[in-house]
Amino acid sequence: MRIRTDDEVYRVDAVWLGPPRATMPWRARYVAWGVGVFVFLIVLTVERRIGVSLFWSVAWGIVITIVLTRLICSRISHERPLTAVTAMWVRELTAPREVSTGQGGAVSATRVRVRTERPRSRKRVKRGSRPRPADKAHKAHARHMNNRKSRTTGKPARGKEVRRVRTSKQARA
């Protein structure tokens, strides 16, 4: 048993062969005639704005119109109508693209503000406010470190001294 598809129906294009008893020597679908007229008007407008003379603008306009119309209509079929191709083209042009260029540039000090006075601390301690518990612990530790005594001599330990390194004052003494 053979199942026939409906492809034959779509192979028959809606073709206008020309006026009765004066057919055109080529086959063109109705869509191609509409696209051709639109493209021809755009091509003539562009050529006249450029400054091409009327005769050459019409002559080259026809040639350019035929080429562009054949290109456009080669993308159009019964499965992909002109409206779908146009919508796809518009979406392709307006789609967001990835930025391939870097932002910024060479570093320059031209916009660095320089002030004559030093900036003030933004952290201000209010009078009468109690320090936070973390501040209390830090201060207690600092007090302990200042009051400790050396194990060997019994004298108060020196704060930030590194052993066996002599400063210029110790070397003279």
What's the pTM value of the predicted model, to 2 decimals? Answer: 0.46
Looking at residue 49, what is its pLDDT? 92
Q: What are the C-alpha distances in Å from 105 to residues 46, 100, 101, 108, 112?
A: 39, 14, 11, 9, 15
- Each residue's pLDDT tens digit, 148-172: 655 566 665 555 555 565 566 655 5
How far is residue 45 CA from its own chain's centroid?
34
> First and final CA of the chain: distance in angstroms?
119
Amino acid occupying residue 126: K
